[in-house]
Structure 1
Amino acid sequence: MGILTEKFNTAYDTAPFSKITEKDYLPAFEEGIALTKKEIDAIVNNPEAPTFENTVEALAFSGMTLDRISNIFFNLHAADTNEELEKIAQEVAPKLSALANDINLNAELFARIKAVYEQKDSLPLNEEQKTLLEKSYKTFTRNGALLNEEQKAQLREIDARLSVLKLKFGENVLADNNAYRLHIMDIQDLSGLPESVIEAAAALAKAEGKDGWIFTLDYPSYIPFVTYADNRELRKEITLAAGRKGFQNNANNNEAIVLEIVRLRHQRAQLLGYATHADFVLEERMAESPTKVWNFLNDLLEKAKPAAWKEFEELTAFAQQRDGLDQLQKWDGAYYSEKLKQQKFQLDDELLKPYFKLENVLAGVFMVANKLYGLQFNEVDNIDKYHPDVRTFEVKDENKNLVAVFYADFFPRKGKRQGAWMTSFKPQYIKDGINERPHVSIVCNFTPPTDTKPSLLTFNEVTTLFHEFGHALHGMLANSTYPNLSGTSVYWDFVELPSQIMENWCYEEEALTLFARHYETGDSIPMDLVRKIKESATFMEGMATLRQLSFGLLDMGWHGKDPSSVTDLKAFEKEQFASTQLYPDVEDIAMSTSFSHIFNGGYSSGYYSYKWAEVLDADAFEYFKENGIFNKEVATKFKDNILSKGGTEHPMKLYKQFRGKEPQVDALLRRAGLLQ
């Protein structure tokens, strides 16, 4: 046995990162796969008649050693990768895909599951057990259990290929991202940029052994540059570089990969008896069907479009009046929006950032969690980390019982993919009478500290931290029996509710006064700034909604129809964006080739779920506001019916248990200021 397969002799059974080397992974995966096969064989060869316990429950608890190895490895592959890990990922992905198929296409195993499923109405099962049985049966039928041998072989081939393509897609995006440098030598080209941004760019140049200032496509560098840099040509250059990720004539081009992924997904869906990949995916979502998703997106589009055009015209007139610009381009949007926002609200990120020191915001989100759910966070140094930047916390309840282990990884680095996400190293589950507590992590790419300043967050970064922390709470407060129904193991269009609802507290005076203090003076954020934050919350909301809808429509365009006739990725994109387009198209950039959510993450046919969950979160937060944003009774209902239940029951049932009724789309339109 190797370090990854033996019992961890660590605090709370946490991963012993400092003792794991790259050489440990492949043997551990081999051992984990062999052990999983052995566990499956034991279920299949059990001489007793199939029961819920000896078949369905046994299957739910199989493969846990392998899952633990996979969680550790793939979380590092996303947060702290290198060439060696990328090579291992390429080698392991098809093996894991083959094992999944070995299990899902195992006729004898399916026969046992089916035998239990057929007795489901007469079995004394609780809600969670019923859900597990239903999910287990569907996992098999949705993964080819009813196919003939030839079709099963075809499915295996498709899945193995897809697992490699998805990884390659992500690696290409990261490679293009890391290859780009905007190296500035003339100080005049920094005009408009905040001092902290300039300082960070100088530090990066120095770290790379160069003079001047370096800007990259990492968000903490890219977003401030396109938002504040007065030099329009340089804004154009860096915007085009971001838009060309995966869409250049180099080894990282993703065009063929995208076309192959969507065709294979479509073939797979058809093989399983579904019209399209979206039909297959949405069967297991609150939205249920592509028609419902298109109706939802187009209904919102109809309501948001007049507001978006009005905002775009206002922005165009503002740029014309200010700088004589006749036509706004993609590289102008963030810049002029920020200038207009400053003019309208006398509010800009640079004014707010001193009040949002990372440590204070983190303490703030902990205080909010404490007031709502009684959680206490204690930073500890006896838990191993995979990188020195990572911070580790014990999370306990009011009775000092361990709720979870929490990891936080905040700053960009070379081996870390873009964006922000929540993940877990170990799920929560109950086995042999022991409630195993989860190990949850959030990974972000925030503005790092400099030589003269701590990490000061933009307001957007503050909401991102609250968002990911909402996902983390969903993982930390999980209280299910089975690991595959625990925490965030819910319908994909429900998973964003716990994260998006947390963002609401960032706009509330009662919450902001807990943590928004000036990093030098310690003064609380002035109330007029809080008022401006609230007033500006709906600024350009029509355009922002249109942008989100455009991504959802592009996703459905790729996955809700037969894509096999698409040969020109860019031409196809233009068609999908026609109904949401505000800025002129730029020929040599594309979205799909770096759209990691749908081609490297789990959001294919699911990008609409951000907006779907916004309806849920706006409706749910209205309930909090009616009773007080720290109302214990409402918070307890949210914890008991949403956060702790995971995927143990249908999400609409859980939502109605919390809210007393179905969510209303008008709650979102009201909050966004889009109700005429």
Structure 2
Amino acid sequence: MSGAAKLNPVLAPSDLPYGLPDFASISDDDFLPAYGTALAEHLTEVEAIAASADAPTFGNTIAALEASGRALARANGIFFNLEGPDTNPQRAEIAQELAVRLTEHGNAITMNPQLFARIADLYDRRADLGLNEAQTRLLEQRYRDAVRAGAALDDAGQAQMREISGRLATLTTEFGQHLLDDTNASAVHFDDAAALDGLSPSEIAAAGRAAADAGRDGYLIALELPTSQASVAKLTDPAARRRVFDASIHRCARDNEFDTRAVIVEIVTLRARRAALLGYASHAEYVIAEATAPTPDAVAAMLTELATAATQAGKAELARLTERAGHPLTAADVTYYLAADQRAQAASGPGRAAANAVDITDFENYCELDAVLHDGVFAAAGTLYGLTFTARDDLAGYHPDVRVWEVFRDGEGIGLFLGDFYARPSKRGGAWMNNIVDQSAQLGTAPIVVNVLNLTKPEPGQHCLVSFDQLTTLFHEFGHAIHGLLSKVDYVSQSGTSVPRDFVEFPSQVNEMWALHPDVVGGYARHHETGEQAPAALIDAVRASTATESAHSTLEYLAAAALDLAWHRLAEDEIPTDVLAFEAQALADAGLASDLIPPRYRSTYFNHVFGGGYSSAYYSYIWSEVLDAETEQWFLTGGGLDRDLGRAFADAVLEKGDSVDPVAAHAAMLGHAAQITPLLARRGLVVAGQ
């Protein structure tokens, strides 16, 4: 790193453990100068590799590329772990500028003709180079990345690719910013606390605090990222439910500055144009070529198979909910009565007398955040993988709410885990995992991993209580964190979660299985006031209520996955101008059109697809769940929460990243390729004709 770079706190080497950035020393004004330095340094390094007079080898070309750009990686690790969970107007402007600059920088590297010639030469000779599996995979990936970026196109084609990729970078960033702004602006205001009946005292207090923070009297109910809202499942007032639900489904679809419909049309058009330039029939074909799924047709067939079964189950479920309500339902009512139905079924389970009925909503009182973390999430990881977590109160994250733990494996320090759990207006919705630093033996770097959630921050002196859905999310995101923390690869491009998009959700879904495992739930499920253990009947009832997914949950997910695929199987001359009309037709064509069960994300706020990295890949959650359901059975039949099983899973999947074929490694662990049957059983589905 140059002397000039050392003057910038973004790029200055950190003396903190594991190279944790000194966030307090960095101001937003430092970022653009830091990127100016880091981009120039990286380009100089790459140009030296490309112009080398030595014949290309894996070491002087592919490994050298892996070692290049460390200053840029540091800047990215800092800035993009601020811009998502703690943005502000200046950071939003920087993100817009960087979207284009980073894309142009990537194009300059992948389309460098000298560099591509060296990579192509190695690719053609790869069978004779004596490479191991990880090196072969890395070389092949570098070659495919270059071709898919346009390196093999003529000058005119490359110029079009540069224009398309730069514009897409701007548009996807703009989509995410519009969604955050409109989600904040669409928070629903109530004058009277009586309208919030059904919410807990802490939730009502948080709504009051949100209104006060916004300079208003009364209460503000903030919106969550998906269509379905947790508050709608609790509010007893039908009018209050409808107000929140309507605010959710109309986000970014009104004629105002946050409307994303024109952005969507342009994104889809440009993606289709890029795919055609590269010889693909559609953007979906372009994306899935790098996934574990074979083709878009195979994905569509799986979604259709599941939709057929889920639709049948959904009709029965809606009939039961309507009978329970005693009147025709609206979409907002479905969420509410579904929650009531699940509680009732759990309370009146087999052998449970009416007098001993259990209210599963009480489970939240036994799920205090710190207890769930330390005695649930961390404890399970300790038993399975030998991990321990030591709070590092001497280390600061990027926001006062962020907490830092040092992670040890069998007594040896392996990295840092940061938890950013509370919602705030500056944080985009949802939950995710990210890395500040990626593990790499070549670079000598250990992982610094972040989990971001959007829990309601408690009032001072109060406890943060976690609903069952939030509990599942906590275990899910920590599954991603474990994937990053346990990584043991040589090359940074293969580290941790750097696996095919339709495989990456698999380890995180596996980790969800421990949330209610008897050896885990008994550790954390204690009443937040009395410390008493959760009654066995309550835990049994919660477990019974979650034994299978509701048809509603399956259908709203499948509708979103089908919508994503429909948008991205279009050729450029098929792109519609009316976003909502296309959405309605696509859902009807998939057999998933329902006024009562809209998609988990409608097009206008489908951030995974139009603002994130899941375009043509939202199906990956259910695709990964096929592997997850098989693995859950493998764990349970082998002994459950067992260190030997955890070691085998880590060795086969978690440590390997993309240094091996992940699906083949998983099949070798199981002893057979994963089948869909366990998934169908988990979701309570019976495929028609079987």
Q: Aligned match of 1:658 in 664, 669, 672?
A: 669
| Paired AA for residue 555 in structure 1 | D
Q: Give the 3-state SS of the residue equivalent to 1:402 in structure 2.
A: strand
Question: Is 1:248 aligned with 2:254?
Answer: yes
Is the Cα contact below 8 Å between 2:548 and 2:682 reproduced in 1? no
Do the aligned partners of 1:220 and 1:445 also contact (CA within 8 Å) in 2? no
Q: Is residue 63 of structure 2 the alignment partner of residue 57 of structure 1? A: yes
Q: Aligned ranges for residues 176-575 of structure 1 at < 5 Å?
A: 176-218=182-224, 223-320=229-326, 325-326=327-328, 328-346=329-347, 350-363=361-374, 364-398=376-410, 400-431=411-442, 434=444, 436-451=445-460, 453-538=462-547, 541-562=550-571, 564-565=573-574, 566-575=576-585
Matches of residues 76-225 of structure 1 in structure 2 within 5 Å? 76-218=82-224, 223-225=229-231
Single out whichever of 401-410 and 233-242 deviates more from structure 2. 233-242
Residue of 595, 608, 624 corresponding to 2:619: 608
CA gap of 1:155–1:343, structure 2 versus 1, over 3 A, is same
Question: Alpha-carbon deviations, 1:480-531, whole Å to 9, x = none?
Answer: 0010111000011110111001111113222211211111121222111121
Say whether 1:641 aligns with 2:652.
yes
**1:222 shift after superposition:** 8.4
Letter in 2 for 1:99: H
In 2, the alpha carbon distance for the partners of 1:192 and 1:462 equals 20
Quick check: 519-528 or 276-285, which moved more?
Answer: 519-528
Q: CA deviation at 1:452?
A: 5.8
Partner Cα separation in structure 1 for residue 396 and residue 339 of structure 2: 42
Percent identical residues: 38
Q: Which moved more, 1:601-610 or 1:200-209?
A: 200-209
Q: 1:281, 1:540 → 2: CA distance?
A: 28
Contact 2:360 2:538 in 1 (8 A): no
> In structure 1, how many angstroms separate the alpha carbons of the residues matched to 2:436 and 2:598?
41
**1:598–1:607 Cα contact (<8 Å) kept:** yes
Structure 1 residue 251: deviation in Å? 0.6
The SS at the match of 2:331 is coil
Are the aligned partners of 1:218 and 1:412 in contact in 2 as well (CA < 8 Å)? Answer: no
How many Å apart are 1:552 and its aligned residue? Answer: 0.7
Contact 2:403-2:418 within 8 A present in 1 as well: yes
Shift of 1:37: 0.5
Q: Structure 2: which amino acid aligns with 1:633?
A: D
Q: Answer with 418-427 or 172-181: which moved more.
A: 172-181
Matched residue, 2:679: 668
Return the TM-score normalized by structure 2.
0.94
Q: 1:134 to 1:456 in 2, by over 3 A?
A: same
Indicate how the Cα distance of structure 1 residues 111 and 395 shifts in structure 2: closer, same or farther if over 3 A, else same. same
1:298 and 1:218 map into 2 onto residues whose CA distance is 28
Answer whether contact 1:247 1:590 (CA < 8 A) is retained: no
Aligned twin of 1:597: 608
Distance 1:475 1:360 in 2: 23
Aligned counterparts of 2:65 and 2:478: Cα–Cα separation in 1: 31
Q: Indicate conservation of the 8 Å contact 2:343/2:361, yes or no.
A: no
| Contact 2:227–2:598, Cα closer than 8 Å, also in 1 | no
Decide which of 614, 617, 623 is 2:628's aligned counterpart.
617
Equivalent pair of 2:10/2:78 in contact (CA under 8 Å): no
Q: How many Å apart are 1:571 and its aligned residue?
A: 0.7
Contact residue 287 and residue 616 of structure 2 kept, 8 A: yes
Separation of aligned partners in 1, 2:661 and 2:526:
41
> CA offset at residue 218 of structure 1?
4.0
The count of corresponding residues between Structure 1 and Structure 2 is: 667
CA contact (8 A) 1:201 1:214 kept: yes
Deviations 1:545-570 (A, max 9, x none): 11111111000000122254311111
Q: Deviations over 1:131-177 (max 9, x none)?
A: 11111111111111110001100000000000000010000001111
RMSD across aligned positions (CA): 1.9
Using a 3 Å threshold, how does the CA distance of structure 1 residues 585 and 373 change in structure 2: closer, same or farther? closer
Unaligned runs of 5+ in 1: none
Query: TM-score, structure 1 length as denominator?
Result: 0.96
CA distance 1:297–1:76, shift in 2 (3 Å): same
Consecutive unaligned residues of structure 2, counting only runs of 5 or more, are: 348-357
Q: Secondary structure at the match of 2:232?
A: helix
Deviation, structure 1 residue 349: 5.6
